[in-house]
Structure 1
Amino acid sequence: MDLFNYSRRETSEVNIGATPMGGSNPIRIQSMTNTATQDTEASVAQAKRIADAGGEYVRLTAQGIKEADNLMNINAALRRDGYMVPLVADIHFNPKVADVAAQYVEKVRINPGNYVDAARTFKHLEYTDEEYAQELQKIRDRFVPFLNICKENYTAIRIGVNHGSLSDRIMSRYGDTPEGMVESCMEFLRICVEEHFTDVVISIKASNTVVMVKTVRLLAAVMEKEGMHFPLHLGVTEAGDGEDGRIKSALGIGALLADGLGDTIRVSLSEAPEAEIPVARKLVDYIMQRQNHPYIPGAEATGFNYLSPTRRKTVAVRNIGGDHQPAVIAERLDGEYETNPQFAPDYIYMGHTPLKMREPGIAYILDANLWQGEEGTYPAFNHQQLYLLSACQADMKFLFLTYMTLNEEVIACLKYHPEIVIVSQSNHPNRLGEHRALVHQLMQEGLENPVVFFQHYAENETEDFQIKAAADMGALILDGLCDGIFLFNQGNNISHATVDATAFGILQAGRVRTSKTEFISCPGCGRTLFDLQSTIARVKAATSHLKGLKIGIMGCIVNGPGEMADADYGYVGAARGKVSLYKKKECVEKNIPEEEAVEKLIALIKANGDYTDPQ
């Protein structure tokens, strides 16, 4: 794989109704209904809204035989009204339901974690090699008849692995790891290959973007090694709603799309399903602008491990680099100083704007020819000002560089001046490629200067800005290359506060800096057991000021306890109108009436000493 030049991974084509995926087909967009699948009228209406918004596949849950049977009526109603969008049945726990659904839809999603293996209990089990082989044979014995039904009905399948629902069997041998997720998938894929069943799509998801990206990269490498070229479905599970859901999804999915991985995506938002489609469309269209871009002559640094990256070693310059969390730099070229205390940047770049006042706790960056050595301020240079830089006695200096200006003179200067923080710039159509190329050259030269990534936009819509910025930063953060982020937007209608909050949101989505409560919330489906959107709003209203906590809000138990494995507290649908509360993985209170559950959650947080009153 070329780290610096964009090209899509070559995949086999999969037939899904009249909308094939993979091969030379465009990246497909999809969503999932949150209606009861037995409610034909509501499901058809919502499927139409998804299709009208541009969704190319519509997924519906089928908890049991009745729901699977009703897929026939939903399919027929859509076709009768001229909607040819392929339908996908989502199956958990019951392979018999998959057998039925395969007769009525264009694709069936099964979950290796619960297709044959028992529901996850979080208990550590021990298997001998012989016992493990027997369990694999059980999978084969049950899976092959399903494949035969799919062959007879020209039905594709998706093997959909979720971090939150790995089986205890996989956990016993591999633990809660990317390797375990990949093996869970490969067990089923190898059977497909042996049975000559090729209409297969794969997804391998997590709510943790680090796990999600690392696992998909690993899966693509393992498939390549075994001669498999199946297309990939990308998504971040339980991404949430609002700006958090958009940033988290764009960062995780965008990091993979930017490397050419992915043939279909779903942006999982805790909102109306049709609201997911425009977000996904914007993300795909933005990444696809990189096609056929001018060549970037980057070279991968010795020792860099794309499949399991670690943070690049850098010297600490003040509070940037070393073991410090990535810094946030903001601009105030218009002379405005106001910041949100929750998302106050570490540094504010003023450029040529004279410094009139200071916000407490914030340092300022001035262009070198304006800087007078004032306390709490630092000079910024470009590559043509090296003579000024060498004469400057400041203990921290910022040097704005592009990859193409990183010449021998600049490299020599950097070796002599470890106090320089590099601000990496790019106007290339594939700015990720140039940013990566610059840092990889630094690594190859043995330079340990910290690197802050400058990302420049001219967006007028907040959503567009957030999607693009998160997509551009995803791989840089997850590759371990990021010592700081500097977002600059020259469009109208987007405030400094929004730009600052987006920078912090991107770092939190990449799991490198926490600045607010993290909500892990599912998008909802026909399995959801309470009003998800209103519940999320109520929980957020009561807890969003609690910096550093992770709170899971899950509609049912399919992925609930698993995806919340690293959450501090969990709110999970247990039965219709009933909720169970979790502390870490432990269920501490069951079957609470929905109308009491949010208050009980707050009481649980308070009882454990994790609650503070809003300021």
Structure 2
Amino acid sequence: MTGTLATASQTGNDTARNQRYDTVIHRRRTRTVMVGDVPIGSEHPVAVQSMINEDTLDIEGAVAGIRRLADAGCEIVRVTTPSMAHAKAMGDIRAALRAQGCGVPLVADVHHNGIRIALEVAKHVDKVRINPGLFVFDKPDPGRQDFSREEFEAIGRRIKDDFAPLVEVLKTQNKALRIGVNHGSLAERMLFTYGDTPEGMVESAMEFVRLCDELDFHNIVISMKASRAPVMLAAYRLMADTLDREGFHYPLHLGVTEAGDGDYGRIKSTAGIATLLAEGLGDTIRVSLTEAPEKEIPVCFSILQALGLRKTMVEYVACPSCGRTLFNLEEVLNQVRDATSHLTGLDIAVMGCIVNGPGEMADADYGYVGKTPGIISLYRGREEIRKVPETEGVEALIQLIKDDGRWVDPA
């Protein structure tokens, strides 16, 4: 018996170790949740989403903002609905989009005491997002010292009473729900009970998850957003462990909220989102930048492509340049990118010399490598195809791709 247990334990350890050193990301297994016609879950590509910043009451402006996101490649678009008027406007927005041939799924963001708003907007969207910390919202009491068990449970009953009608509507219409926890807006009773912690965030979500389970509703996606990446990482890891331990295999929506703008906003978002994706966590992502929403989409696709989770653009492999480089590598890389960036599914390498070039670019489909001063070698995979003058290098690379039938003309 002991030997059998030891062998089983060793097998489990070996499996975990092999996965840790594997070059393939092993995604956490989840159920599939449909948002319109976009599936979210571990059996499907990680979906990309964003949120417009136009006022929802501005029908024309909101439609234009959603179209810009959809045209940029956004697969799910969220819209804020802070009032009943905003909720009703979603009907006009959806109708206008569909009349224009835009079928991108829509998500309504509902916050403070928003059950009436949620019930109205559910008619017009594919998913409703609620914030557990604000769904039943009471103004914090500055004189409060703690919450008794009775007070805690009484608020829980209020939540269930308010939440159940929304669940029934979503279930009847076969629509989805995002339980979206924000670190900065935990309910007062959660803060007193669990502190301003990842545990408090997880318990906020789990209260709603368990209510959905009681009502036999399972079209759920969950997010655990924070403005600090370490908090976000801890919350998502704990959330995934808690869900799986209790048998709730729901997809996760990843994001670092309020990441800012520019390089730092992109780096901060990538630090949180990519870390979790590499661990196999996450089924849909949103990069939150203080910029035009459509600028978030290339960052999402770049994260997914860098991890090998989606192939939506050309992957460029380029050495950092050194004293052996035989041409202006940065300039040539830009020329190659300008000529080929409209293609998809290719890996193209631009390497400064043959010392490391052919080896370092071995996984690329095509290579542009400095051979000798003024001469370029073109590769297909590991095979050197031809040598051409540097002045003809980019044209020759394009011709090689055309010869292989992998070229399409830019739009």
Q: Which residue of 2 aligns with 1:95?
A: 115
Q: Kindly provide the CA deviation profile for residues 50-108 of structure 1, in whole angstroms up to 9, marking residues without a partner as x.
A: 00111000000001000000000001111111111100001110222111111110000
**Counterpart residue identity of residue 88, structure 1:** V
User: Is the 1:124–1:168 Cα contact (8 Å) retained in structure 2?
Assistant: no
User: Is the 2:46–2:309 Cα contact (8 Å) retained in structure 1?
Assistant: no
Q: Which residue of 2 aligns with 1:4?
A: 21
2-structure distance, mates of 1:21, 1:4: 27
1-structure distance, mates of 2:186, 2:351: 44
2-structure distance, mates of 1:289, 1:200: 22
Superposition map of 1:362-373 within 5 A: none
Superposition map of 1:570-585 within 5 A: none
User: Is the 1:117–1:169 Cα contact (8 Å) retained in structure 2?
Assistant: no
2-structure distance, mates of 1:241, 1:46: 19
Deviates most, 127-136 or 271-280: 127-136
Structure 1 residue 19: deviation in Å? 1.1
Query: Are 1:269 and 2:289 an aligned pair?
Result: yes
Name stretches of at least 5 consecutive residues in structure 1 with no aligned partner. 292-330, 336-458, 465-489, 493-615
Change in 2 beyond 3 A, CA 1:51/1:123: farther
1-structure distance, mates of 2:74, 2:50: 7
Q: Which residue of 2 aligns with 1:556?
A: none
Change in 2 beyond 3 A, CA 1:158/1:290: closer
Deviates most, 125-134 or 254-263: 125-134
Q: Which residue of 2 aligns with 1:576?
A: none
Superposition map of 1:97-176 within 5 A: 97-119=117-139, 125-176=145-196
User: Is the 1:460–1:491 Cα contact (8 Å) retained in structure 2?
Assistant: no
Superposition map of 1:213-612 within 5 A: 213-288=233-308
Change in 2 beyond 3 A, CA 1:258/1:147: same
Structure 1 residue 333: deviation in Å? 5.6
Query: Are 1:65 and 2:72 an aligned pair?
Result: no
Query: Are 1:183 and 2:203 an aligned pair?
Result: yes
Q: Kindly provide the CA deviation profile for residues 284-323 of structure 1, in whole angstroms up to 9, marking residues without a partner as x.
A: 12112599xxxxxxxxxxxxxxxxxxxxxxxxxxxxxxxx
Change in 2 beyond 3 A, CA 1:143/1:177: same
Structure 1 residue 153: deviation in Å? 2.3
Structure 1 residue 21: deviation in Å? 1.0
Change in 2 beyond 3 A, CA 1:146/1:27: same
User: Is the 2:27–2:42 Cα contact (8 Å) retained in structure 1?
Assistant: no
Query: Are 1:25 and 2:44 an aligned pair?
Result: yes
User: Is the 2:52–2:77 Cα contact (8 Å) retained in structure 1?
Assistant: yes
1-structure distance, mates of 2:333, 2:233: 29
Q: Kindly provide the CA deviation profile for residues 509-551 of structure 1, in whole angstroms up to 9, marking residues without a partner as x.
A: xxxxxxxxxxxxxxxxxxxxxxxxxxxxxxxxxxxxxxxxxxx
1-structure distance, mates of 2:143, 2:39: 41
Structure 1 residue 152: deviation in Å? 2.3
User: Is the 2:179–2:208 Cα contact (8 Å) retained in structure 1?
Assistant: yes
Secondary structure of 1:79 counterpart: helix
2-structure distance, mates of 1:149, 1:283: 35
User: Is the 2:301–2:310 Cα contact (8 Å) retained in structure 1?
Assistant: no
**Counterpart residue identity of residue 4, structure 1:** Y
User: Is the 1:123–1:168 Cα contact (8 Å) retained in structure 2?
Assistant: no
Which of 78, 81, 89 is equivalent to 2:100?
81
The percent identity for this pair of structures is: 47
Structure 1 residue 123: deviation in Å? 6.7
User: Is the 2:107–2:129 Cα contact (8 Å) retained in structure 1?
Assistant: yes
User: Is the 1:36–1:43 Cα contact (8 Å) retained in structure 2?
Assistant: yes
Secondary structure of 2:307 counterpart: helix
Which aligned runs of 4 or more in structure 1 are off by greater than 6 angstroms? none
Change in 2 beyond 3 A, CA 1:111/1:290: closer
Q: Kindly provide the CA deviation profile for residues 405-441 of structure 1, in whole angstroms up to 9, marking residues without a partner as x.
A: xxxxxxxxxxxxxxxxxxxxxxxxxxxxxxxxxxxxx
Q: Which residue of 2 aligns with 1:196?
A: 216
1-structure distance, mates of 2:258, 2:140: 19
**Counterpart residue identity of residue 155, structure 1:** K
**Counterpart residue identity of residue 159, structure 1:** I
2-structure distance, mates of 1:200, 1:27: 16
Change in 2 beyond 3 A, CA 1:124/1:258: farther
Normalising by the residue count of structure 2, what TM-score does the alignment of the two structures yield? 0.70
**Counterpart residue identity of residue 62, structure 2:** S
**Counterpart residue identity of residue 200, structure 2:** G
Q: Kindly provide the CA deviation profile for residues 176-196 of structure 1, in whole angstroms up to 9, marking residues without a partner as x.
A: 000000000000000111111
Change in 2 beyond 3 A, CA 1:50/1:121: farther
**Counterpart residue identity of residue 224, structure 1:** D
User: Is the 2:47–2:285 Cα contact (8 Å) retained in structure 1?
Assistant: yes
2-structure distance, mates of 1:121, 1:158: 28
Q: Which residue of 2 aligns with 1:35?
A: 54
Secondary structure of 2:40 counterpart: coil
Structure 1 residue 334: deviation in Å? 5.0
Normalising by the residue count of structure 1, what TM-score does the alignment of the two structures yield? 0.47
Secondary structure of 2:216 counterpart: coil
**Counterpart residue identity of residue 58, structure 1:** V
Structure 1 residue 276: deviation in Å? 0.5
Change in 2 beyond 3 A, CA 1:129/1:238: same
1-structure distance, mates of 2:139, 2:37: 35
Change in 2 beyond 3 A, CA 1:145/1:125: farther
Query: Which is helix-richer, 1 or 2?
Result: 2
Name stretches of at least 5 consecutive residues in structure 2 with no aligned partner. 1-15, 312-319, 325-331, 338-349, 353-411
Secondary structure of 1:109 counterpart: strand
Structure 1 residue 35: deviation in Å? 0.1
